[in-house]
Amino acid sequence: MAVAQNGILALGTASHAYLEFDAGEDPAALVSAAASLAASVKTTGATSVVVGIRPELWARVAPDRAPDAHGFDEPVVGPDGFAMPATQHDAVVWVAGGDRSTVFDEAAAVVAALGPVGHLVEELPAWSHHADRDLTGFEDGTENPPAAEAPGVVTIPEGAAGAGGSVLLLQKWVHEPAWLSLDTPAQEAVIGRSKADSIEQDPKPADAHAARTDQETYGQIFRRNTAWGTSERHGTMFVGFCAEQRPLAVMLEAMVGQDGPRDALTHWTTPLTGAYYVIPAADALAGLAG
């Protein structure tokens, strides 16, 4: 039976780092080195490590364990020209832990291990803000399934291509400072929920974020978003997992307005990066470890 990487659902971690790599001359060597990292994580350790591989690269090295997925190779563009950029890389390593020191040490070890076979192109330290809030001040992940149901949302089922794995959408968003100039009712209209207790408005504005990403409409995903940045420049790292790519993709299409109004939140926060990664099953990575 395929076994998922347990870091996907390792909730309660306060500190995070996202490390994205491009392969060197031998892309398979990067996969092997990343697989070795995942295979060496101790259950008694203070950090968790999740390894993701560009879908096309994973299909090349493990065609019998590859789901139906593709890289974020083209921007997602709305009818008004608003675009979510494509910044696909070959691998991502997400390190999470209880404090910044342990995450820093593990991230440094990851960079040292993958340096001979890849190039670090993006590194982002992040944190869990007030446990369940993002830097807009609203609760994040309100539509996440309960913990008992989450494995069924994020994990490709047994018997399907890529069983035990998952698909990750990773996007870095920067928030506009002008957001703080909006009063609470105006912010709530943008999000479509109350700020204090996260109750959905009824009815929601058609362009509200809660309407344009409604999981009953577009499909269920599991979000592990975090906050990043400084007091002057900051935002949200969108970390979305699903057993299939389509719900993630259609939500982005809805946000840019391909099937209706553009998501109001995109007037106040801007995507800087965008990539899809296959999160292979732990046993699939173990089989490729050097």
The domain segmentation of the chain, as residue ranges, is 6-288
- Smallest CA-to-CA distance from 242 within 85, 69, 124 is with 69
Cβ–Cβ under 8 Å, residues 120 and 19: yes
**pLDDT (tens digit per residue) in 84-129:** 999 999 999 999 999 999 999 999 999 999 999 999 999 999 999 9
Q: In the predicted model, is pLDDT for residue 254 greater than 80?
A: yes
What is the pLDDT, as a whole number, of residue 286? 94
Q: Among the listed ranges 39-43, 124-128, 161-165, which one has the minimum average pLDDT value?
A: 39-43
Q: Among the listed ranges 2-6, 111-115, 274-278, which one has the minimum average pLDDT value?
A: 2-6
Confidence category of residue 40, pLDDT binned at 50, 70, 90? confident
Going through the chain in order, the beta strands assigned E by DSSP cover 15-23, 47-53, 76-77, 83-84, 91-97, 118-127, 166-175, 222-223, 226-229, 234-242, 269-271, 275-279
| CATH class of the domain at 6-288 | alpha beta
Confidence category of residue 279, pLDDT binned at 50, 70, 90? very high
The tokens 């209706």 sit on which residue?
A: 260
Q: Does the pTM of the predicted model rise above 0.95?
A: yes
Q: Among the listed ranges 44-53, 90-99, 123-132, 208-217, which one has the minimum average pLDDT value?
A: 44-53
Mean pLDDT for the stretch of residues 30-36:
97
**pLDDT (tens digit per residue) in 53-80:** 999 999 999 999 999 999 999 999 999 9
